[in-house]
A and B are shown apart, each in its own frame.
Chain A
Amino acid sequence: MIIQFVLNEKPCQVDISPNTRLLDLLREHLHLTGAKEGCGIGECGACTVIMDGNAVNSCLVRATQIQGKKIITIEGLRQNGEYDRLQEKFVEHGAVQCGFCTPGMILSAKALLMHTPHPTLEEIHRAMEGNLCRCTGYNKILAAVQDAAGHGEGET
């Protein structure tokens, strides 16, 4: 089955089996391993990517559902050799320990800031509730997102 979509701002066409999940398409076929498989049932958020501006669990999306959609993975955030402000703030705040949850955390935050450039702490909590971290205790992650938001992340 041939699927056409936009991946990290570049047109992409793949011939895939209907059995394929978006997560498998990214990791196994396109070798973009930033999205991680944690639980595989949509509870941990480690596989989060952005689809048409909204955070989704790529483990719960069939590859056939991305026909005509725009997908952003963590690999797509780095532009012209420079990291996204969210990525810089995660580093500055020490919001990364083992790093397994980090791509999903950053993409959930990115999707929030694309819609809401200056979110409240409550809005950040709501946007990140589907992402689990077993290292940091969340405070540094929330601080990094707040800091990025304070600097106008997501403004056009």
Chain B
Amino acid sequence: MKQRQIASPSSWGELLHYFQEAEPQTKILAGGTDFSVSLRGSTSVTMQFIDITHVKELCFIREEGEYLYIGATTTFTKLEQHPLMRQYGGCLYQAAGRIGSKQIRNMATIGGNIANGAPAADSVVALLALRAEASAYNHNLEHRWIPLSDLLKNFPTDCLLTAIRFPKLHSNACSGFAKVGTRSSVTISQLILSCVFQIGSQNNRIEKAAVALGAVGPHAFLDEETSERLIGELWDQAIVNTLTTCLQETIASAIPGRASLSYKRIAICGLVEDVLSM
């Protein structure tokens, strides 16, 4: 059995040093609740990874201007307990409290949930609806903010994800998160929906919309067509049917012929009602 090589930087400076020196296939460990499962039975494989658990500079939640910033190693327990999340986090705050079990939420991080790239990553769907951006470094330590919707389509192999930011939700915004799985908790979601709407105070019509789906295809995605379609619609009970119809079409085109299609077309009806009742 070959040894895995691990680096455990304790500061931002050390992390950058290790990352710059790292081989391209080096993995980043941030919480590791999914990563540990993936390592089972693979002990004969040589692997290098950088454990960023101890880098305190990557664990934060703060507001700056119109944005909320979250460090990559922030756990879901911290997200569900932080007052700024309750105030401005909307659907992400709701999602954080429903991920896995208490034990999982105490270890799993938002950066890990994104980088792991699972099709049913709960927080990713909420982040897409918030039109979040990811702070990413390459091995040359060049930094850029990448829209999460772009990052998920083609996740760079040499990427160090350090933070997430999204525009703070204000009082005229409505947002929600809902999912369905085989159990009420500690379950892998079979369908996830998250939405953010900005409602005009004068005309009660939708001014901005972002609708995201998870567990429909290889990765979560922002349903731009549906989001566009809803702009200008009156914010009343009829929006339930409009949104449901749009999402049924989206699901049908995302997973044509899949055995789960008929179930998901029905399940989305309940999720739309759940999200809009929040």
> Which A residues lie at the B interface, using CB under 8 A?
1, 17-19, 21, 40-43, 45, 48, 51, 54-57, 59-62, 64-65, 67-68, 108, 111, 126-131
Contact = CB atoms under 8 A, between A and B. Distances in A.
B3 interface: yes
Interface of B: 1, 3-6, 8, 29, 32-33, 36-37, 39-40, 43, 51, 53-54, 77, 100-104, 106-107, 185-186
A130 B102 contact: yes
Contacts of A51: 106
Contacts of B100: 42, 130
Nearest to B77: A54
Given A55-B102, A68-B54, A130 B40 contact: no
B102 A129 contact: yes
Q: Which 8 A-B pairs have the closest CB atoms?
A: A130-B101, A18-B6, A54-B106, A129-B185, A60-B36, A57-B103, A130-B103, A60-B33
A21 B36 CA distance: 8
Contacts of A129: 101-102, 185-186
Contact of B6 (A64, A128, A131): A64
A129 B107 CA distance: 15
Contacts of A65: 29, 32, 51, 53
Nearest to A65: B53
Contact of B186 (A17, A43, A48, A68): A43
Nearest to B75: A54
Contacts of A18: 3-6
Contacts of A55: 102-103, 106
A60 B102 contact: no
Nearest to A126: B102
A1 B3 CA distance: 11
Contact of B3 (A17, A61, A68): A17
Contacts of B101: 42-43, 45, 57, 129-131
Contact of B32 (A17, A60, A130): A60
B5 A57 contact: no
Contacts of B40: 40-41
A127 B102 CA distance: 6
